[in-house]
Amino acid sequence: MQNTVRALKSQVHRQSLYTLAKGVSSFHRVQASGGFKAAADWCAAALNARGVEARVLEYPARAGGFAGSYRLFQQWDCRAAWCRLAWPEKLDLADYGVEPVSIIQKSAPCDWRTQPLELVEMTEGCDPSAYEGWELAGRVLFTHQHINKFAWAIQQRGALGLVSDYLNDTPYVRCPEELFDTLNYTSFWWKHTPEEKRAFGFVVTPRVSQRLHAACQKARAEHEAGRAESPYPRLNAWVDSTLADGASHVVEAVLPGKERQAVLAVAHLCHPCASANDNASGVAGAIEALAAIRSAVERGLLPPPEKTIRLILVPEFTGTYNYLNDGRDRAQYLAGINLDMIGARQQGTTGPITLTGLPWACPSFVGDLATLLMQEVKGPAASRDDLLLAHVLTKQAPFGLGSDHFILSDPAVGVPCPMLGQWPDAFYHTSSDALERLDLDVLRYSTLVAAGYLYTLASFTLQDAQLVWNHQRTRLMAEAERIRREGFDQGGDGRQTEQRLAALKTFYKGAAASVQRFAPGADPGPQLAWMDAALPGAFCPAPGGPVWRRRFADPIESLENLLLDQPQQLALARDYEAKHADEQDREMLEALCGYYIDGTRTENEVIAWVLVEQGGQNSGLLREYMQLLAACGLLERAQE
């Protein structure tokens, strides 16, 4: 394995990574837009220029369309947009041509260049009842919370648009006061229902927000003094955009192997210009990884891979759902890796390169291989570059949501997919996620891990299997220690801790046995025996309740969006979500619940598995969620 790493180190170049990241970050890459298509074409050309066969796949982007369980949306293109305060002072608020993040993406077209609109500051929060008697129709709202919380003002009260100063405040990581000249990446996500009203909107920085707030106070004072007819500031706005059925795109690249079975790399290409770490870094690393493998093979540094290596550069979620549901045989993909934010400078609150593992419902050794390679890339130093790699901060984390690995790692999809990412990141989803934030040594490290992972899986040997099993023992013991420590901290009689340890062992035994998918001659027997001796307990949840079978072939990204065309079921889903809106870890619990429903486990067994993996005692939520899915026709009873 170290020979593979050494060969790849000679082929992964800092300057090439910089050129790729710079090129990708220059495009405004909003999902289903001309800007995304231009970026996709550029990436395909970059891959082909490096000897990696690539093409751009096209999928429909239309209202009411689906890719599996995922509801699609229309193509949006913006040519120009601006917003300017006209009274009580003149102030440029936003200009798409200067900073594309300054418009709320997917804004509807408007032309108020000659006829000013009044601006109403929403000073009473986002609860509709706080604005009884306020006239909002035909006006623009100055809002201070997430724009989704003001959808009612557009849909029911007739507001035409928004000016938002919302900046996602992440505890201990960032706050508006520390990012005074930063714009938050903000987008409308239209439902495309017949009754839906469209709006436009703009984003301002915390600094500009202060001036705009002062202008609102000044306008009110002028009105109260009798010097102005209206208490509201006036602004002009123009958005030259289109929102219509169109196309979405995915870049697909392939390094052919001797076998059709493939290892899959995925990185999301979307997000506004520049979005350098999120996720020009992942795209650059993915392209360079495939180019480095091809070059190493061509130069005779590595033998040709046995299995095929594929790469997809996608609009996040949308592209992966499209790709998996275009008629291809999913069974050809044995494993994957997701590259999402892998190259920022590690200073302040920008965190380590993190390997996010697999859900226990999808056992595979590939997470162990990835963490082993994170160590191997930091292996014996033979140069200054090796020393720089050795000082990259790294971390291992349990399974989490938030990117395309959550789709692939669904057991129903069957592509175990760890994620290489970076968290925390003080500048993600903002205009400050700029190219100068990248650290090419951090990005090179991540790229080497990804390239080593892809090539090793594509050329897996019995020696690799033994190395992974040795490393797996260390990881299992470290995880067992963590679970025991959590049990001590939480108190209790220890029975829950023992149950978690037994379930953990079940996952690791499945992971150890999965090596045979890549190395059929490998014998996992001694490894399984060692695990039984190290953790002798067994996790055997009590059966009970119905056995459910899923009627959806990939995970549900949004239950509400899935049911928009079914009013009765939609009402049930909205009642459930309103009831459980404040439930801790609800999205994770629901996702894991879907993973464990396999047509063989009873309802009680599904609940037991979710809770033993995630922790907590919220069995009522999970039972209600399964009943909701059944009532909506998404689950059916299996023959018991």
* Each residue's pLDDT tens digit, 486-538: 888 888 778 889 999 999 999 999 999 999 999 999 999 999 999 999 999 99
Omega cis (within 30) before 274: yes
Helices 281-298 and 2-9: crossing angle in degrees, nearest 10, is 100
For 419-478, list the strands marked E by DSSP.
419-422
CA 225 to chain centre: 52
pLDDT confidence of 50, banded at 50, 70, 90?
Answer: very high
Query: CB-based contacts of 3: which residues, under 8 Å, 6+ apart?
Result: none
Region 22-30: what's the mean pLDDT?
A: 98
**Collapsed DSSP state (helix, strand, coil) of residue 518:** coil
**What per-residue confidence (pLDDT) applies to 491?**
80
pLDDT of residue 640: 58
pLDDT for 348: 86
Pairing of strands 161-164, 140-143: parallel
- Assess contact for 50 and 291: CB atoms under 8 A: yes
Tell me the percentage of the chain whose pLDDT exceeds 70.
Answer: 100
| pLDDT value at residue 493 | 73
How far is CA 286 from each of CA 104, 321, 346, 448, rounded to the nearest angstrom?
29, 19, 20, 10
- Mean of the pLDDT values across residues 191-195? 93
Predicted confidence band at 249 (pLDDT cuts at 50, 70, 90)? Answer: very high
Q: What is the pLDDT of residue 489?
A: 87
Q: Which pTM was predicted?
A: 0.97
2 vs 349, more confident = 2
- DSSP state for residue 286 in the 8-state scheme: H
Q: Provide, rounded to the nearest whole percent, the portion of the chain with pLDDT above 90.
A: 95
Least confident of 166-170, 506-510, 626-630: 166-170
Residue 24 backbone dihedrals phi, psi, to 5 degrees: -65, -45
